[in-house]
Amino acid sequence: MTVTAPEWYEAVCATPRHVLVPRWWEPIPDSYPFVWGVLAPDQERPWAQVYADETLVTRVGALHADDAKAGDRASGLPTSSSTLPGLIVHMLHLLDPQPGQRVLDVGTGSGYSAAVLSHRLGDERVTSVDVDSYLVEAARKRFASFGRVPRLEVADATGHLPDGRYDRIVATVSVRPIPQSWLNALQPGGRIIATIVGTSLPISADMGDDGIARGHIQADPASFMRTRRTADYPARLDDVYAAARDAPGDDVRELDRRVPDLWTDWSLRSLHELDSPDIENRSATLDDGSEIVWLLADDGSWARAEESSGTIQQGGPRRLWDDLERVQRTWEEAGRFPLHQLVVELATDRSTLTSPDGSWTFTL
């Protein structure tokens, strides 16, 4: 994982992930929606499990794996995890902190990224924040067992930040927009690495003397859980899905192109999210191999595209499938440009992503 980022090799080697993540949740096979069971490292093979380059889910809903007993089950969405180490190293390589610089790590989680940063830069140069007091205290105790003492604070990262100004900010939670407090805290010449809610778009931007951070989307996709202020995320749109699953729409038309796979086409999914935020999508494959895709919104709008019948059905106040097709057409007309060509401008009053030809702008 440090082949392309050798400057982080020693810090990774010095960070005991098995101490930071003693237990985690894994989905029970063939369960959907996922039911989760708690795991601890296999005592005969602990390194193979906990040191694999994989994300380990540490919290589901309001229940942390530390508090679960053998045989316990959890259902719901993951609310905290230890991100795959290779992605953390990649983000820190992009961050490129220099000796003497101060770094803010947003989203303490298991503490892995804060520990790696502290080893390389020094504890006094690293501040890490998380909204979850349990995660902060657990990380503090586990750090002490191997001699790390960065500053850890319980804080809503979208609001006031501790410690004033920073040279680097890295976030392992996703946000939209980039909070004003982050931009206010970033020194001129400083750099921010963060991802946008609901997308696979990591931003890298450098702060200018004019108070605007400019940069680009990075080429390699990455996604993180969104920031939260409560113990769990809002419930999924099951009521809207129940209405949309089989009901006839009040707008019905023929499907004139193949149904897109929004799970694998992360570029289209990300552009759609930038254009039409917080649309939940679900899909199913029928016995004949055809696909059904549902789009759901919290105002009760829904769309259902069926390959088998060749129809699009839509209901509610908005036409969600029309919005998706508009985004798809606009991107095709622009030559399906790679999303790392999107230009980023982050300011406290307005943050935007702009297509390479300047014709298409998204306001975050």
DSSP 105-167: EE--TTSHHHHHHHHHH-GGGEEEEES-HHHHHHHHHHHHTTT---EEEE--TTS--TTS-EE
**CA separation, residue 321 to residues 78, 279, 299 (Å):** 28, 11, 15
Residue written as tokens 């930071």?
A: 20
- DSSP structural state of residue 337: -
Q: Is the peptide bond before 248 cis (omega within 30 degrees of 0)?
A: no
Pairing of strands 151-154, 126-130: parallel
CA nearest neighbour of 225 among 355, 60, 342: 60
| Contacting residues for 216 by C-beta, under 8 A, at least 6 apart | 203, 204, 205, 340, 341, 342, 343, 344
pLDDT at 105: 98
In the chain the domains, ranked by start, together with CATH numbers, are 6-82 (no CATH), 85-217 (3.40.50.150), 240-333 (3.30.160)
Nearest to 270 by CA among 196, 320, 330, 341: 196
- The helix or strand, by DSSP H or E, that contains position 328, with its residue range, turns out to be helix 320-333
- Tens-digit pLDDT profile for residues 248-281: 999 999 988 888 888 889 999 999 999 999 999 9
Those residues whose C-beta lies under 8 Å from the C-beta of residue 54, and which sit 6 or more positions away, are 84
Amino acid symbol at 233: Y
**Residue that is written with structure tokens 């931009």 in the block:** 183
Residues 185 and 348 sit within 8 Å (Cβ to Cβ):
no
pLDDT at 229: 87
The Cβ of residue 233 has, within 10 Å, a number of other Cβ atoms equal to 14
Low-confidence ranges of the chain (pLDDT < 70): none
- Paired sense of beta strands 311-315 and 343-346, if any: unpaired
Nearest to 166 by CA among 135, 133, 193: 193
Rounded to the nearest 5 percent, the helix, strand and coil shares of the chain are: 25, 30, 45
